[in-house]
Homo-oligomer: A and B are copies of this chain.
Amino acid sequence: MINKFVSTLNEAMEDLENGATVLLAGFGPGTPEHLVQGLIASGVRDLTLVANAGGRDDGPIAELLATERVRKIICSFVRPASVAARLFTAGKLELEIVPQGTLAERIRAAGAGIQAFYTPTAADTLLAEGRETRVINGRNCLLEYPIHGDVALIDAWQADRWGNLTHKDSARNFNPIMAMAAKRTIVQTSHVVELGELPPAHIHTPGVFVQRVLHVPA
């Protein structure tokens, strides 16, 4: 019987490796905060973190960055008052800024087996400097590559033992696409449901993308 549930945070975070690329979902809501605590506790280092934003002075991303175990962050946004901005200024954090839509699309591309794509987004900006562009149908486009994760940390509202997930309201955000894009997708879910309880037409992330699920009651 397939059963992707694990009982403890330690079990959920087992076998994390130094140097891993970690996809961290969330846009405000939808951030798997408990799993981030597990990542911090695991002690792994030299990480590449992929998240929408570099976080603030507090909150899960700031806490993770403050450990200085993240070598590089790939995100769309760094706030002036943030751990990320200070570490970057101090030369302790590499930064790759990616427009938010391109970030989402590069993550999806990894999950969907797309090897590269052309987008007009950012083609005429500083972010395109030194990179490959091409004019397609009269529009200047930038060549973008997929972002694969070794691990994805995912938040869910409901989960069953096959790893089928739903996400609540706008807490969905990066969760379904990051779940697709990692070798190992680890989920924290607010609710556990029986197999078959989620209507098959309304599953937001099918279990094929999920490896481990931890129940973390809200």
Contacts and interface: CB of A to CB of B under 8 A. Distances in A.
A72 B69 CA distance: 57
Q: How many chain copies does the complex carry?
A: 2
Contact of A119 (B114, B120, B167, B202): B114
A137 interface: yes
Contact of A115 (B119, B145, B169): B119
Contacts of A172: 201
A131 interface: no
Contacts of A169: 200-201
Given A112-B105, A202-B201, A118 B120 contact: no
B116 A120 contact: no
Contacts of A117: 109, 114-118
Contacts of A105: 112, 114
A117 B199 CA distance: 33
A117 to B, nearest CB: 4
A201 B114 contact: no
Given A169-B201, A201-B169, A202-B202, A113 B118 contact: no
A112 to B, nearest CB: 7
A164 interface: no
A107 to B, nearest CB: 13
Contacts of A120: 113, 115
A141 interface: yes
The 4 closest A-B pairs by CB, nearest first: A117-B117, A115-B136, A115-B118, A116-B118
